[in-house]
Amino acid sequence: MRKALIIYSIIWLSFSCQPSVVKEVSVAEPKPLHDFPENLWISKKFETKIDTIFKYHDTAKEKLAWQDTLGAEIYFSLAFDLVSGLNDEDRTTLQYWAYFDSVFKFMTDEYEKIYFQENLAPEAEEIREEIADFEDFYFSDSLLYSDETLVDSSSGFPITLNKKVRLAIQYFQTRGRAIFTRWLERSGKYEDITKAIFKEIGLPEELVYVAMIESGFNPNARSYARAVGMWQFISATGRYYDLRNNWWFDERRDVIKASYAAARHLKDLYERFGDWYLALSGYNCNPKKVEYNMRCYNTRDFWQLKRLPRQTRNYVPTFLAATIIAKNPRQFGFYVEKEKPVKFDSVVMSESVDLNVIARLTDTTYSCIRDLNPSVLRWVTPPGISDFNLYLPAGTKEKFELEYAEIPESDKRSWVRHHIRSGETLSTIAAKYRTDINVIKSVNKLRGVRITAGDYLLIPVPQNHAHYYSYKEPYHTKTTSKKAVSITQVQNVPGSKKVIYIVKKGDTLGQIAEDFNTRASRIRSWNGLRYGEHIYPNQKLNIWVAENLKEMKAEASREISISQGTGNKYYTVKKGDTLWDISRKHNISVNDLKYINNKHNSSIRPGDRLKVSKH
């Protein structure tokens, strides 16, 4: 019983996306602590710690009220450090106090809402790049890679577990936890569909997780390289596998058609290379580059191809890590509730029909039809396409076909008859109606761009302007290239002072962020840096730090020391920590850290208490 309670305590204190064992108490916002439950015996020292936790939480909220997010983070961290320093007996006591559990949940939810949201912004392409940075940062410590290489081919697909795959797993469990949790949740929507398609084509089901590392199972994803959809097809490859696209629609976003295309593409690559890891490399980059490297190194072993593009070298281990976790998420600490599998009916459309009309005929909403049909880029099914696959809510096909047959042609879509005024051009008219010049030319059968004042143009428009123009695609990623993105530097951060840091040779944003107790993403935003943009020696970076950062850090150290009760000889593991991190902070080698804690591997969990001094 005691062992189970301790395990629960560790899980409870990890503040990841895991369900709480204690029944949640619904509160709008916890009130300040008054009295402890009469049935719980507590010491005066323990009561002081709990009061301090509440005090820090209140101070953090006050800082937030003044938009001082840096100061607030310090006090949130103080509160969490005190909680993580509680001993097993104190944790067990708190498990039986539902009120504190609800307050702690409120604190962690509030913290994650403010500070973890920036972790949700990067999508699959950026995550793969960040894993590569993560590898460069940790690669010097060979102890992280001391375990042997294992290969499991029992499922028909070879699952390799080596040092690079372990590193990617570690990344997803720490820095990448928030985004990977989102991917797991979203995978429930499309996993069954894609597995069925891959089984039909004769491919191993593990390959469906290519969609996870390509887009996070997001059919609306668009990369900097203009790859689109859940499977990230560029236009040329998409056309080769019969995925059409124009201003009106893009079948690379069609989950069904694109999944069939991805299955065929992967099968073609496997037939070309005869090895799944080489096939996956060819999926990520030009297959000719893979073949060139195979000739240079005279090998068919992916792990020996040292001069493939950096992202491609990282692609296969990232895929393997995602697959290993996705098949057994709970084993790796991911307790997620996946989205319900999408269910739908399908009809073939030969006419252009407003989505509002389709929604009305199926007794649903415009947003629902858009979500079921991510390939539709505008407010109507594409004109001039006689075999467009339209997806409807499950069980509505018969009703739709019966009622659609009764609709007059004029009601299926709407138009505006625009009277051309002096000085207007096709460009200004297109901007006015939020459409494209080529659309206007096609509808009005114009060869050039010359128009005459007094004439009329027919402009296609949505029947429900408010729905169309206010609709936002869910989980939409960046839609422009890096060159087109304009990022403004931050000029002021309330409650903070600016420090100008001169970049030194060998510096990384991650290391600089750690030195200043902040995040790399914040440094990028403060300095107008795009994700993936490199820093260089002698570059000046603006960094905002809390005005009383030293004092707050000192207070944090004192409180943590009090909570642990043993000075600086012990350290309580927090979320995201690794043995390498802890060894650097406490000036001790990883080998010594493992030896004095009687550990035979590098596995640690939030809440573990480690000795960090040999004396």
Res. 49 pLDDT band, cuts 50 70 90: confident
Whether residue 473 lies inside any domain: the answer is no
- Please report the pLDDT score of residue 42 as a whole number: 62
Are residues 254 and 298 located together in one domain of the fold?
yes
Are residues 183 and 262 located together in one domain of the fold?
yes
Are residues 278 and 220 located together in one domain of the fold?
yes
- Please report the pLDDT score of residue 604 as a whole number: 80
Are residues 228 and 290 located together in one domain of the fold?
yes
Are residues 439 and 517 located together in one domain of the fold?
no
pLDDT tens across 370-403, in order? Answer: 999 999 988 888 887 889 999 999 999 999 999 9
Whether residue 205 lies inside any domain: the answer is yes
Whether residue 471 lies inside any domain: the answer is no
Are residues 205 and 258 located together in one domain of the fold?
yes
Instruction: Choose one of 94, 119, 144: the last residue of a domain.
Output: 119
**Which structural domain, as residue segments, surrounds residue 356?**
344-408
User: How many domains does one find in the chain?
Assistant: 6
For residues 305, 310, 312, 317, the Cα torsion angle rounded to the nearest 10 degrees is 80
Whether residue 517 lies inside any domain: the answer is yes
- Please report the pLDDT score of residue 117 as a whole number: 43
Res. 134 pLDDT band, cuts 50 70 90: low
Say what percent of the chain tops pLDDT 90. 28
Q: CATH no. for residue 443?
A: 3.10.350.10
Least confident of 355-364, 430-439, 539-548, 576-585: 576-585
Are residues 256 and 151 located together in one domain of the fold?
yes
Are residues 231 and 290 located together in one domain of the fold?
yes
Are residues 380 and 358 located together in one domain of the fold?
yes
Instruction: Choose one of 90, 119, 148: the last residue of a domain.
Output: 119
Separation between Cα atoms, residue 6 and residue 3, nearest integer Å:
5
If you average pLDDT over residues 427-436, what whole number do you get?
A: 80
Are residues 23 and 39 located together in one domain of the fold?
yes
Are residues 383 and 401 located together in one domain of the fold?
yes
In the predicted structure, residue 503 carries a pLDDT above the cut 70: yes
Do 545 and 516 form a contact (C-beta atoms < 8 A)? yes
Instruction: Choose one of 102, 119, 136: the last residue of a domain.
Output: 119
Q: At what angle do helices 276-284 and 310-327 cross, to 10 degrees?
A: 120
User: Six-digit token pair at 612?
Assistant: 């960090």
User: Six-digit token pair at 164?
Assistant: 């690079």
Q: CATH no. for residue 158?
A: 1.10.530.10
Separation between Cα atoms, residue 396 and residue 565, nearest integer Å:
65
- Please report the pLDDT score of residue 28 as a whole number: 41
- Block residue for tokens 């491609």: 312
Whether residue 88 lies inside any domain: the answer is yes
> Three-state DSSP class for 105?
helix
Are residues 210 and 146 located together in one domain of the fold?
yes
H/E run at residue 210 = helix 210-215
On average, the pLDDT of the chain sits at 76
Phi, psi of 572 (to 5 degrees): -95, 125
Highest mean pLDDT, choosing among 60-74, 353-367, 431-445, 503-517:
353-367
Do 259 and 197 form a contact (C-beta atoms < 8 A)? yes
